[in-house]
Protein backbone atom coordinates (compact mmCIF):
# COMPACT_ATOMS: atom_id res chain seq x y z
CA UNK A 1 0.00 0.00 0.00
CA UNK A 2 2.95 2.32 0.45
CA UNK A 3 4.55 1.73 -2.96
CA UNK A 4 2.54 4.15 -5.13
CA UNK A 5 3.06 7.88 -5.00
CA UNK A 6 0.35 10.51 -5.38
CA UNK A 7 1.13 10.50 -9.13
CA UNK A 8 0.07 6.84 -9.44
CA UNK A 9 -2.99 7.04 -7.17
CA UNK A 10 -5.05 9.97 -8.32
CA UNK A 11 -8.53 8.78 -7.30
CA UNK A 12 -10.11 7.05 -4.32
CA UNK A 13 -11.26 4.25 -6.67
CA UNK A 14 -7.63 3.52 -7.59
CA UNK A 15 -6.70 3.42 -3.90
CA UNK A 16 -9.61 1.07 -3.23
CA UNK A 17 -8.51 -1.25 -6.05
CA UNK A 18 -4.95 -1.21 -4.68
CA UNK A 19 -6.26 -2.09 -1.22
CA UNK A 20 -8.27 -4.99 -2.68
CA UNK A 21 -5.26 -6.21 -4.69
CA UNK A 22 -2.96 -6.15 -1.66
CA UNK A 23 -5.58 -7.80 0.56
CA UNK A 24 -6.04 -10.65 -1.88
CA UNK A 25 -2.28 -11.04 -2.39
CA UNK A 26 -1.62 -11.20 1.37
CA UNK A 27 -4.61 -13.23 2.54
CA UNK A 28 -6.38 -14.63 -0.50
CA UNK A 29 -3.32 -16.30 -2.02
CA UNK A 30 -3.13 -18.53 1.05
CA UNK A 31 -6.65 -19.91 0.64
CA UNK A 32 -6.80 -23.48 -0.59
CA UNK A 33 -10.22 -23.88 -2.20
CA UNK A 34 -12.71 -21.91 -4.26
CA UNK A 35 -15.30 -21.85 -1.47
CA UNK A 36 -12.90 -19.88 0.70
CA UNK A 37 -11.81 -17.72 -2.26
CA UNK A 38 -15.44 -16.80 -2.97
CA UNK A 39 -15.86 -15.95 0.71
CA UNK A 40 -12.85 -13.63 0.33
CA UNK A 41 -14.31 -12.00 -2.80
CA UNK A 42 -17.60 -11.40 -0.99
CA UNK A 43 -15.76 -10.00 2.05
CA UNK A 44 -13.87 -7.56 -0.19
CA UNK A 45 -17.18 -6.56 -1.79
CA UNK A 46 -18.71 -5.89 1.62
CA UNK A 47 -15.66 -3.95 2.82
CA UNK A 48 -15.88 -1.83 -0.32
CA UNK A 49 -19.53 -1.03 0.26
CA UNK A 50 -19.78 -0.56 4.01
CA UNK A 51 -16.90 1.71 5.12
CA UNK A 52 -16.12 3.34 1.79
CA UNK A 53 -19.68 3.74 0.50
CA UNK A 54 -18.61 2.61 -2.95
CA UNK A 55 -20.22 0.22 -5.37
CA UNK A 56 -17.86 -2.71 -5.86
CA UNK A 57 -19.16 -3.39 -9.36
CA UNK A 58 -18.63 0.25 -10.36
CA UNK A 59 -15.11 0.52 -8.92
CA UNK A 60 -14.08 -2.77 -10.55
CA UNK A 61 -16.14 -2.47 -13.74
CA UNK A 62 -13.08 -2.96 -15.98
CA UNK A 63 -12.81 -6.54 -14.63
CA UNK A 64 -16.33 -7.45 -15.80
CA UNK A 65 -15.34 -9.76 -18.65
CA UNK A 66 -18.83 -11.09 -19.40
CA UNK A 67 -20.28 -7.54 -19.42
CA UNK A 68 -23.21 -8.38 -17.15
CA UNK A 69 -22.58 -5.37 -14.90
CA UNK A 70 -21.10 -7.42 -12.06
CA UNK A 71 -17.71 -8.73 -11.05
CA UNK A 72 -18.90 -11.99 -9.57
CA UNK A 73 -16.45 -14.73 -10.52
CA UNK A 74 -12.99 -15.54 -9.28
CA UNK A 75 -11.66 -15.43 -12.83
CA UNK A 76 -12.93 -11.87 -13.27
CA UNK A 77 -11.49 -10.71 -9.95
CA UNK A 78 -8.13 -12.34 -10.71
CA UNK A 79 -7.74 -9.74 -13.46
CA UNK A 80 -6.94 -7.16 -10.78
CA UNK A 81 -3.18 -6.56 -10.77
CA UNK A 82 -0.73 -3.91 -9.65
CA UNK A 83 3.00 -3.87 -10.16
CA UNK A 84 6.10 -2.01 -11.24
CA UNK A 85 7.01 -4.28 -14.14
CA UNK A 86 6.68 -1.68 -16.90
CA UNK A 87 9.88 0.03 -15.73
CA UNK A 88 13.32 -1.48 -16.23
CA UNK A 89 14.86 -3.08 -13.15
CA UNK A 90 17.30 -0.84 -11.32
CA UNK A 91 15.66 2.43 -12.32
CA UNK A 92 15.27 4.81 -9.38
CA UNK A 93 11.65 5.68 -10.22
CA UNK A 94 9.54 2.52 -10.63
CA UNK A 95 5.84 3.47 -10.61
CA UNK A 96 3.71 0.89 -8.79
CA UNK A 97 0.53 1.08 -10.83
CA UNK A 98 -2.54 -0.83 -11.85
CA UNK A 99 -1.88 -3.10 -14.79
CA UNK A 100 -4.80 -2.52 -17.14
CA UNK A 101 -3.29 -3.60 -20.46
CA UNK A 102 -3.05 -7.39 -20.30
CA UNK A 103 -1.56 -7.57 -23.82
CA UNK A 104 1.27 -5.26 -22.74
CA UNK A 105 1.74 -7.38 -19.62
pLDDT in tens, the chain (105 residues): 777 877 888 888 999 999 999 999 999 999 999 999 999 999 999 998 878 888 999 999 999 999 999 999 999 999 999 988 888 888 888 888 999 988 888
The reply to whether 7 falls in a domain is: no
The reply to whether 1 falls in a domain is: no
- B/e letters for 16-44, b = 16+ CB within 10 Å, e = fewer, are bbbebbeebeeebeeeeeeeebeebbeeb
The reply to whether 103 falls in a domain is: no
Give the domain extent around 30. Answer: 12-98
The reply to whether 53 falls in a domain is: yes
The reply to whether 44 falls in a domain is: yes
The reply to whether 29 falls in a domain is: yes
**Per the confidence metrics, is the pTM higher than 0.95?**
no
Amino acid sequence: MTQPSKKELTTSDEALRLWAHETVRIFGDRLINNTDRMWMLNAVKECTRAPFGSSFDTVFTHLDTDKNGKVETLDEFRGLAFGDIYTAFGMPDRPYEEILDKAKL
